[in-house]
Amino acid sequence: MINNSHTIKEKDFKNHGNESHVTPLVRTHDLAIGYRRKKQHKIVARHIDIALHPGELVCLLGPNGSGKSTLMRTLAGIQPSLSGEVHLKNHPIKAYNQKRLSKELSLVLTERQQTGNLSVYSILTLGRYPYLNWLGQLQEKDKNIIKWAIRETGIAPFINSHIDKLSDGEKQKVMIARALIQETPVIILDEPTAHLDLPNRIGIIRLLKKMARDTGKAILLSTHELDLALQAADAIWLIMPDQSLTTGVPEDLVLNGTFASAFRKEGLQFDDQTGSFKFHEWDGKKTVALHGGKATRIWTVRALEREGYAIASKGDFNIVIRENGADTIWHIEYEDRAYEFSLLEHVIQFLRHPEHREIAENNSIYSTKTLAWEKI
């Protein structure tokens, strides 16, 4: 129950309105999150001091089970903290009543929502509930906001469908649209791109990024899309293995090694040159000297590393990439012979099977018809 002496009144928000452009919309102090048990508490993260500012898109990252969803629920006021404080617009989150909170913060969780057999449009109208009059009627402004969210999230084709007839990805887009319709200064989304294909994942992230920039909303989302987070986030909140939380811009966290240490695992390596993870292990035995190429070189390196080869100044093989317009030739020198291939598939097949090297001749390619080495 909320103590009336701490309940926020409308005038309190007006008094703080002019500060919103310089102060965080959400901030915590020495926050500990987890679950309350009868005899002891289960802490999943502690000593959390974070701030979510207007106009920011922040990505929350961390290994599975690190407490990302727990943190989001705690920030949204639907799960109590174990200790510490959460403030929304300079007021304790627990001081908000439900109606006032729903005008300040919208939340999209990964749990299945109890929506019954409602139509998609009916669910979207729920986003305007905090603003409706006592008759519960949508005004023209409400309808225009709903139309905008439908257009931006691309859900028009199934707007009249029942929600239980949609795929998981379609349901996810509906819930994101409802959060946009709610028109809150803070939006918190737990894995909003889950169940979406790549074009839709990029589209949602781009939309959220644009909204943060154009409207000054503070948007926090958790995701396993590490590459998208590195490209799109203004800041990253990273839950570490020791239950602490580190924050910073993506580039700083990569350059100082924090990002790699958060996801360190045997057989997994973060490449700070490409901003991606590698799961290939090099045994120190196979090397390739690679020369030439531009975009082709990048993909050649990926293919070679996948096969367990390391790139070195001198190697077991000497490969020269020759580009001529749209045509690419991989010239391979091995022992006292040279071979040329027009596809990386054939290069890899050659490297995999030593027995083929003995019968291959200069200017040979791998024939996809006979599955044998043939002279051009």
- For residue 235, the domain's CATH number is 3.40.50.300
Structure tokens at 186: 């803070």
> CA-CA distance, 310 to 306, in Å (whole number)?
10
| CA 167 to the chain's CA centroid | 21
Between CA 176 and CA 106 the distance in angstroms is 10
Question: What total number of domains does the chain contain?
Answer: 2
Which of 235, 265, 295 is a domain's end point? 265
Looking at the structure, do residues 78 and 218 belong to the same domain, yes or no? yes
Task: Assign 3-state DSSP to the chain and report helix, strand, coil percentages, each to 5.
Answer: 35, 25, 35
Kindly state whether residue 52 falls inside one of the protein's structural domains.
yes
* pLDDT for the residue numbered 116: 66
Judgement on whether residues 85 and 223 belong to the same structural domain of the protein: yes
Cα separation, 226 vs 228, in Å, equals 6
Instruction: Read off the pTM.
Output: 0.77
| CA distances in angstroms from 248 to 63, 236, 258, 292, listed in the order given | 18, 6, 10, 37
Alpha helices per DSSP H over the chain: 10-16, 68-75, 98-104, 120-125, 140-153, 168-181, 198-215, 226-232, 250-255, 258-262, 295-306, 344-352, 354-357
278 part of a folded domain: no
**For position 13, what pLDDT does the model report?**
47
Q: Is the domain of 316 the same as that of 249?
A: no
Ranges of the chain with pLDDT below 50: 1-5, 10, 13-21, 359, 362-363, 366-376
Task: Show the tokens assigned to 116.
Answer: 């019954």
Task: Give a yes or no: residue 107 inside a domain.
Answer: yes
Is 163 a domain residue?
yes
Residues 33 and 156 placed together within one structural domain of the fold: yes
* Amino acid identity, position 101: L
Residues 6+ apart with CB under 8 A from 86: 26, 27, 28, 31, 74, 75, 77, 92, 93, 94
Question: Are 260 and 291 within one domain?
Answer: no
**Which of 212, 235, 265 marks a domain boundary?**
265
- In this structure, the answer to whether residues 101 and 149 fall within a common structural domain is yes
Please check whether residue 141 lies inside any domain of the structure: yes
| Res 8: pLDDT | 53
Could you tell me if 258 and 294 lie in one domain? no
Tokens at 40, concatenated: 């002891």
DSSP 235-301: EEEEE-TTS-EEEE-HHHHHHTTHHHHHT-BTTBEEETTTTEEE-----SS-EEEEE--SHHHHHHH
Q: Look up the domain containing 119 and give its range.
A: 4-265
* 111 Cβ contact partners less than 8 Å away, ≥ 6 residues apart: none
Question: What per-residue confidence (pLDDT) applies to 249?
Answer: 94
55 and 149, same domain (yes or no):
yes
Q: How many Cα atoms sit within 13 Å of 281 on the Cβ side? A: 5
Residue 151 lies in a domain: yes
In this structure, are 308 and 347 located in the same domain? yes
Asked whether residue 272 is assigned to any structural domain, the reply reads no
